[in-house]
Structure 1
Amino acid sequence: MKKIIIYGIVFLASVNFALAQNPKEIPLDQAWKDKIEELAPEKANFPFKKKKKILVFSLHTGFWHWVNPHTQAMIEILGEKSGAFEVTGSTDIAMMEKDKLKEFDAVVFNNTNAKGDYRNLFVDVFSEDASMDSVAVWKKASELENNIIQYVKKGGGILVVHGGNTMLNNSMEFSKLIGGSFDYHTKQQGFQVRIEDPSHPLTKSLPAEGFNHVDEPYFYKNAYEELDFHPLTYFNNAEIEGQRKGQEKTSGKTYVSWIRKDGKGRAMYISTSHNAQSFENAAVLAYFLDALQYVAGDVKVDETPIGN
């Protein structure tokens, strides 16, 4: 009898672990929002003189992440509860025009995935306009990309979330701006997110030992090889299963989130946001709030790049 009970417990634990490796889609309902509201920080960690304006841009032409509306809702809750910022959500490409961008202190690129052909969100959108030939399409796409780059250089901030780095994935300029381009990801799995420097102001909200997380571990290319950013969190490569054949990394680390100074502005990347369940963690919510305050210019921190 005891053996049956023990086997039963082991079986259930195994089932729960297996399910945890591929979290199911959950509805964005009031119950979920209430849960996030309860877990969200009571106040911002960093002082602010005025409420900042944040644009959450969620346009996509490539892979659709079901977590997108949850991410926007999470950011809205963080802003409202802390009083640190007000949020505008949009999927309108016109928000990337100069006059629109300057209305905001920071922009969140929320899984702004582009198609695989060009890996250029703007080219994808303008290619659907029958009045534009290919020359006009690429010219306009280049203009909007430059708007973002100049927006940051002149003092704006951007937070790129998960697949948002594929928005202009083949552009080395954009890759340099955000610190790297998407290469590939493995299957979803549980892995330990580790803290590069627990004393850094932007990681103090996280447990010093890190935390276990279920996601698609991301690997990067292009500007990432230059390591022209200040890392915040990482995973050990040897702990990641299902790496691309012939490119397996059995030592070293791959960064999960980082920050980068560019001109007068700031860029930050956070990859661990594939599932809404990720936000059901008070420490992670506090980390996002700190991240938003950073890109909005509320706090100055060490941004020294590690380089190669």
Structure 2
Amino acid sequence: ELHQPRFTLITKGLAGAEGPVFDTKGRFYAVAPLEQASNDGSAGKLYRIELETGDKHVVCTPHVEGFGGKPNGSISDKDDCIWCADMRLGLVKFDPGDNSCKIYGKVDSSGNPLNGANDLVFDDDGNLWFTGPGSPVAPAKEDMVTIFEVPSGKLYCLPKGEDVPVLADDNLRFPNGLAVQGKVLLVGVTVTKEILAYDIIGAGKLTNRRLWAKVPIGETDGPDGMDFDVMGRLLVANHGGSHIEVYPPDGGNAPIIRIRCPFEAPSNLHFRQNSNVCYVTEHSNDALWSFEWECRGAAMYCDKIRIDFF
């Protein structure tokens, strides 16, 4: 089934536009990983964007030891801190309270260099899962060729309250976007055009890795960012495929709905809280767009009220 909703352009000028996200107060952020410094080095930025006007405000330009970052995905915690998955630096945490950017280490819990970071998501317990498809974090030399050709991608978890990520899985062909529904973690693997599912059994602990869905063959790229709606359907940006693919709650070999985009390379998507308005970043025009979906998006971790029974 093909849907062709009306897309509204919000803003352009986000080099490598990625990581659309709302915090709990409704403030909107996105990242521009491909911005460069005057010396041609990486100088990716986290922006706060006024959706009514399209105005962009730089809030964080992460760097460490003289190396600029490439923030590629974003997520909000319950304190309105924005966590970014950075391809060159690993995890970055922006605190709007003091406008600080904290870099979370260079190694995992085994002492191995982090494999960069691409996208991230909180589970319902506050553990932060993120993909690492790239070469080791700076100052290691960046490798944007081999990482697509060999299964060198990794999957990590930063357990709630801790500072050092744990390696959860590896040998993946460019792991990319993630989504969580209950105790199931979904991970898009771009090169193989697959979405994998895992059962979450603890902080950094996964089991029962399995194929959950396939992205339509013949497209020039594969699954990128993704988000659930309240009906349990998964919306997946098919980077290079000009569509957002929609899957039923149990996945499948093909999407049940294809949303036609007015651009070729959708990169990520995110719903406004308690709304059916979905915001989409894309690489064809380095832009941010919005469209109205059939139902509301599912609540993210930062917006869920947790009740503990004793």
TM-score normalised to structure 2 length? 0.29
Identify the structure with the greater strand proportion: 2
Structure with greater contact order relative to length (CA < 8 Å, sep ≥ 6): 1
TM-score w.r.t. length of structure 1: 0.30
Q: Which has the larger radius of gyration?
A: 1
**Going by fraction, where is helix more abundant, 1 or 2?**
1
